[in-house]
Homo-oligomer: A and B are copies of this chain.
Amino acid sequence: MSDPNPKFNLTIVGLGLIGGSIGLDLSNSPLIGYRTGVDKNQNHQQIALQRGIVDKISNLDSSIENADIVLLALPVNIMAETIEQVLNLANSTCVVIDTGSTKSSICKHLSDHPKRNQFVATHPLAGTENSGPQAAMARMFEKKVTIICEKEKSSSLAIEVANTIFEALGMKIIFMDPEEHDIHVAYVSHLSHVSSFLLGQTVLDIEKDKKNIFNLAGSGFASTVRLAKSSPEMWVPIFEQNAVYLNQALSEYIIHLQKFQNQLINRNVDGLNKILNEANKIRKVLEGITP
């Protein structure tokens, strides 16, 4: 009797925070057979094996041969070319899923690939300020959202496999087109990172006595600046690929800061109150209550 629920052999390309956390979550999944990891960094390979993120390490080419699912978690500047390479090697039933934080340029690069329908363009929205397989966390994706782009360009089998994986991670799935994705994440995700990176840089630049930063960080600074610890290797390519929309978002942010500054200079208490009361509405929005 053949197994009614055959297991998928999974290859994870990139054993950092995202790839590593996915590997941890799928370690005991009844869906998954063998987990193979690919990473150029030997230290990452070792940690991934030690932490049970994958069952074995291989190189890209040979890891694709017997893979049913290839999941890529790489910086976005090398994502599109690597997906192309994986699709070229993949057998006809293999499903390829990326996790890149930008989607337009990746989708554009792959739009005419003969195996485009085996690929699912996704962005699971989860993470921390830490990086590498040492930062991987079980259940990091739980109750978070993953975005699938250009659903219509993926085969129904590929979408079904992607759904199964993201459901196993505990995620909710929503659909967007790539440009729409890039606009929204520019505002909600990428701008948050910019505001935090630059808050960190500004305070480091101005506060000559660093001991003061340490002493005063309990006042909200530590959490607002948390994302400034994020990896430049991951984030510079994201900012570069999403430069057009991020630039728009950043211009809006600067304009809002300058309007606040004007009210501050004029000691306009009513104006300041109005801005802070507007900002307060974020509480309900984050609770899922639409104003």
Contact = CB atoms under 8 A, between A and B. Distances in A.
Given A250-B261, A254-B258, A264-B247, A291 B202 contact: no
Interface of A: 125-127, 129, 144-145, 172, 174, 184-185, 187-189, 191-207, 210-230, 232, 235-236, 239-240, 243, 246-247, 249-254, 256-258, 260-261, 264-265, 267, 269, 272-273, 275-283, 285-286, 288, 290-291
Contact of A207 (B187, B232, B261): B187
A83 B88 CA distance: 75
Contacts of A221: 188-189, 192
Chain A, interface SS category: helix
Contacts of A226: 220, 223-224
Contacts of A202: 187, 191, 249, 252-253, 256
Nearest to A258: B254
Contacts of A232: 272-273, 276-277, 280
A255 to B, nearest CB: 8
Nearest to A274: B232
Contacts of A227: 220, 223-224
Contacts of A145: 215-216, 218
B219 A189 contact: yes
Nearest to A291: B210
27 contacts: A126-B218, A126-B219, A174-B215, A188-B212, A188-B217, A189-B220, A191-B202, A192-B221, A193-B224, A195-B195, A195-B196, A197-B260, A197-B279, A200-B279, A201-B278, A204-B279, A217-B286, A224-B226, A225-B282, A228-B282, A236-B273, A239-B264, A240-B264, A243-B264, A243-B267, A253-B257, A254-B258
